[in-house]
A and B are shown apart, each in its own frame.
Chain A
Amino acid sequence: AQSVTQLGSHVSVSEGALVLLRCNYSSSVPPYLFWYVQYPNQGLQLLLKYTTGATLVKGINGFEAEFKKSETSFHLTKPSAHMSDAAEYFCAVSAQTTRQLTFGSGTQLTVLP
């Protein structure tokens, strides 16, 4: 069984401030981890993914995430928020032995001017 918990359904940051969106997962086998972003009135698109290898993963638009097995976490960060980063962000988990991707409940990011 696998599950994802995203801490904080709403996060607000000022433009130029650090963005930190938290994700913890549960998986009985080594996980594959993803962050997707959903802009208003659009479908989800992939930001980044972790499969194996380097635990710090870089994605599009300056985002990155670090896989920490000991903490079962995959938090998403960006050093400096931009107004265009305002969107809903979803963490997701799957595994080689599963056929399904399980999503977290999402975090709505607001960027304040």
Chain B
Amino acid sequence: DADVTQTPRNRITKTGKRIMLECSQTKGHDRMYWYRQDPGLGLRLIYYSFDVKDINKGEISDGYSVSRQAQAKFSLSLESAIPNQTALYFCATSDPSGRGHSGANVLTFGAGSRLTVL
């Protein structure tokens, strides 16, 4: 089984629908992230969570919300999907165990969830 599992892997929906993308991990990591990938733009951070009670907005959080249900689960919601939210979404985890270099922790990515909003 994959260390970071994203569901669904592909989803097509209509404008205005509510969508939830789910992420679960078996790494035992405290830190979890949601990124969005668009061609030519790289990855942009939507939300991140350093533990169950610590949730923070990233650079493009508008139109999105998250829930950290447990250490292992971090879900991303689009309350009312719009076409420009069509993208590839990645969940990632990291472990701050590299003491003294907390910014240097390495991300482990899921395989991605491709969302199309019509």
Complex Cα–Cα for A4 and B103 (A) = 16
Which residues of A (32-52) have their CB < 8 Å from a CB of B?
32, 34, 36, 41-46, 49, 51-52
**Interface residue stretch chosen among B11-19, B38-46, B63-71, B76-84:** B38-46
Complex Cα–Cα for A41 and B110 (A) = 11
Complex Cα–Cα for A16 and B102 (A) = 38
A61 contacts chain B at the CB level, 8 A cutoff: no
Complex Cα–Cα for A102 and B33 (A) = 12
Question: Which bracket fits the contact residues of B?
Answer: 20 to 34
Residue of B nearest to A98 (CB): B103
A104 neighbours in B (Cβ, 8 Å): 42
Q: Which residue of the partner chain, among A6, A32, A103, contacts B103 with CB atoms under 8 Å?
A: A32
B110 neighbours in A (Cβ, 8 Å): 43
**Interface residue stretch chosen among A62-70, A78-86, A89-97:** A89-97
Instruction: Check if A105 sits within 8 Å of B104, measured CB to CB.
Output: no
Complex Cα–Cα for A48 and B104 (A) = 11
B72 neighbours in A (Cβ, 8 Å): none
Instruction: Check if B58 sits within 8 Å of A44, measured CB to CB.
Output: no
Instruction: Check if A96 sits within 8 Å of B104, measured CB to CB.
Output: yes
Residue of A nearest to B110 (CB): A43
Instruction: Check if B42 sits within 8 Å of A44, measured CB to CB.
Output: no
